[in-house]
Structure 1
């Protein structure tokens, strides 16, 4: 199989280093890495002259080369590219655009091994240009792309099914308990502090190789209220400190420090074994007035996320909500029978989610094996 260097295949135009004062409310959107990853809620605009090369339009291929490495196809209209992102210009060799995207997706792990920098990891242009990808004839590229496109479509359908099931849970929550702000059903309104029996910060100790206990960090909590154990670390903790930071089934976990977009992620720990919780997470144990799943679902409603973002304090790229602020948040306390009814409904929906997730995992495994076959 013929191989080709990325630098010999296309040109890569870096974005412009817009200053904070360049960002306004009118003009063309300024696209940063977080606007590509979906972790931003503060899109900025620029209304002035700019180099034509940093303009992006629908269909442009973008590559983030700093902090969070990724490849994206832009589809949100005319915009301007910020620094740390390449726009790909296919001006050197003939290649199918989608084939190129799949090849880059497969090479992201190799790119990560070549990153530099102590704080913001990045790949320099020389190392990026030197990365090799397979370069078969154009008809073979199209054949490979069509096969991967079909599997990608199935994967997206499975993900959409999971999203619809999550939306069903949220809709049923509001249907049973009413809007959390207006409280049309007249439930008692208390603060979260009134429903808590114990609240603790996690440990600040670092993870260690071969540690005794699984170590839950903020990246193990998803933005939609689940646990993600794909990147699980381990830790050793002295016996006399275990009770301060151990998390057990039924505990509610609240991510107190993160970006402004992700601060406040909340999930119920529903696993049988003990784990240790990290310092950026608050462990909450309830006193029985509210069920853990009800609190977690409440905190993950979009209207509550807006409240959390408005409360958060901190420096750029890091926001914080402390335990006292968490306990000051108002919450309604629905009838316990209704809470149990919601839990049972959620349990049934979760069964459906398990089946869909299994199908998704199997399809993803097929996709990954083909990616390795074609590009590995």
Structure 2
């Protein structure tokens, strides 16, 4: 933490700003299908997460109401205002009771929010990390006078509201790009994309063969177990993403026989034959990015390149039309769906002359390149927007967000309250409870 404080500010440990009451350790045997909700961490960071309920009555210190300040101190650390009605608080979450003589509730909220990164640096555990209460309570924050706290909060509230609007606008971009790409593919395989290009040309009419009419073979991939390191990559269902190969997570093969049998060539199209119902049918094209073979859950489509362009085939296989077909013909299992090679071979494909296929591919790639450029700018901007709250908070806690006023007074007056707390606690009060002399609010 920055030890150079603005004029009139002081440093305080969190334990002197409030009281932090841990939730109750509810047992699964206490859960009921209805009653009062039990708030767990997932109910804080995911508004769609289902509640557990109870119809029992417990100590009031475990209850929460609208407006209560909560701090999740285990697994996913976070700070929240509760606004979903009366409920019981589960363990691993603090209900924060603040000392109104020293700090406002919303300023304490921002104190905790700006400290999240520091808390993660002090966590314990490997699976479900957590921050211990002594470490949490002894964490130091910067504290301005109360009038300045209120101005900082007002400014932060305004900036964070603007930030949420920007995020909401940005969050629409991925879906807009997805819709745009799908519209391009639809126009590509219905002839609309090249309608003007066709004018005045003496071309053959579009045909509608099945894949078996324009492909040589539909081959299943290797069923051998892949390895962490090796000579040749084994492409699996997870490597097929949005018509392209994602090479960020690879397994390998060292088997000479497997490599010879399943080696991919540039232009080979891979079809994901088995997956969850919404993902079966994913298709991507291999363009020789790295030496590779393919796994058994994939089918390699060996198309006749003299009549069917590989890129055109790949684009068609990623249209909404084919997704609908996959949903209609798939065989559903317990947790996965399947489309075998025989069904795949029977898929009809709108087929223009090869010259027009090539023009379609050129136009689709050009439009997709523009979409990719927009997406790259979006990701860059999103990274900046996502980091903005912490930047704003750090600026606020350096005293740089709002001007200081002579009428603010000095936070040393707050320090006197804090020192009184220390003196009283040394007189016998428990470290996790504030003395009765200090007024606490929830």
- The unaligned stretches of length 5 or more in structure 1 are 18-49, 55-59, 65-69, 75-79, 116-126, 179-184
SS, match of residue 335 in structure 2: coil
- Work out which of the residue numbers 339, 343, 348 in structure 1 matches 2:357: 339
Question: Normalization by structure 2: what TM-score?
Answer: 0.53
User: Are 1:263 and 1:320, in contact at CA under 8 Å, matched by a contact in 2?
Assistant: yes
User: Are 2:280 and 2:338, in contact at CA under 8 Å, matched by a contact in 1?
Assistant: yes
User: Structure 1 residues 225 and 10 mapped into 2: Cα distance closer, same or farther (>3 Å)?
Assistant: farther
Aligned to 1:114: 127
Aligned length: 301
Aligned to 2:274: 257
User: Are 1:218 and 1:281, in contact at CA under 8 Å, matched by a contact in 2?
Assistant: yes
- Work out which of the residue numbers 206, 209, 214 in structure 1 matches 2:228: 209
Aligned to 1:24: none
User: Are 1:293 and 1:343, in contact at CA under 8 Å, matched by a contact in 2?
Assistant: yes
Displacement of 1:286: 0.9
User: Are 1:7 and 1:130, in contact at CA under 8 Å, matched by a contact in 2?
Assistant: no
Q: Cα RMSD between the aligned structures?
A: 5.1
Aligned to 2:255: 238
Per chain length, whose mean CA-contact separation is higher, i.e. which structure has more relative contact order (CA < 8 Å, sep 6+)? 2
Between the aligned partners of 1:162 and 1:311, the Cα distance in structure 2 is: 28
Between the aligned partners of 1:135 and 1:205, the Cα distance in structure 2 is: 56
User: Are 2:182 and 2:320, in contact at CA under 8 Å, matched by a contact in 1?
Assistant: no
- 2:238 corresponds to 1:219: yes
User: Are 1:207 and 1:233, in contact at CA under 8 Å, matched by a contact in 2?
Assistant: no
Aligned to 2:379: 361
User: Structure 1 residues 129 and 327 mapped into 2: Cα distance closer, same or farther (>3 Å)?
Assistant: farther
Aligned to 2:10: none
User: Are 1:191 and 1:329, in contact at CA under 8 Å, matched by a contact in 2?
Assistant: yes
- 2:34 corresponds to 1:51: yes
- 2:189 corresponds to 1:152: no
User: Are 1:196 and 1:285, in contact at CA under 8 Å, matched by a contact in 2?
Assistant: yes
Give per-residue Cα distances to partners, 1:25-58, cap 9 Å, x unaligned.
Answer: xxxxxxxxxxxxxxxxxxxxxxxxx73668xxxx
Displacement of 1:239: 2.2
Displacement of 1:264: 0.7
Question: Normalization by structure 1: what TM-score?
Answer: 0.61
Aligned to 1:169: 184
- Work out which of the residue numbers 283, 296, 301 in structure 2 matches 1:284: 301
Aligned to 2:368: 350
Displacement of 1:203: 1.8
Between the aligned partners of 2:27 and 2:314, the Cα distance in structure 1 is: 44
Aligned to 1:325: 343
Between the aligned partners of 1:153 and 1:327, the Cα distance in structure 2 is: 43
Displacement of 1:175: 4.0
Between the aligned partners of 2:24 and 2:67, the Cα distance in structure 1 is: 5
Between the aligned partners of 1:371 and 1:324, the Cα distance in structure 2 is: 54
- Divergent runs of 4+, >6 A: 9-14, 88-91, 97-100, 105-108, 127-138, 371-375
User: Are 1:61 and 1:73, in contact at CA under 8 Å, matched by a contact in 2?
Assistant: no
Between the aligned partners of 2:311 and 2:213, the Cα distance in structure 1 is: 17
SS, match of residue 208 in structure 2: strand
Aligned to 2:326: 308
Aligned to 2:433: none
SS, match of residue 317 in structure 1: coil
Displacement of 1:213: 2.5
User: Structure 1 residues 156 and 338 mapped into 2: Cα distance closer, same or farther (>3 Å)?
Assistant: same
Q: Which moved more, 1:254-263 or 1:343-352?
A: 343-352
1:34-113 equivalent positions in 2, closer than 5 A: 51=34, 63=42, 71-74=45-48, 81=50, 93=69, 95-96=80-81
| Pair member with larger Rg | 2
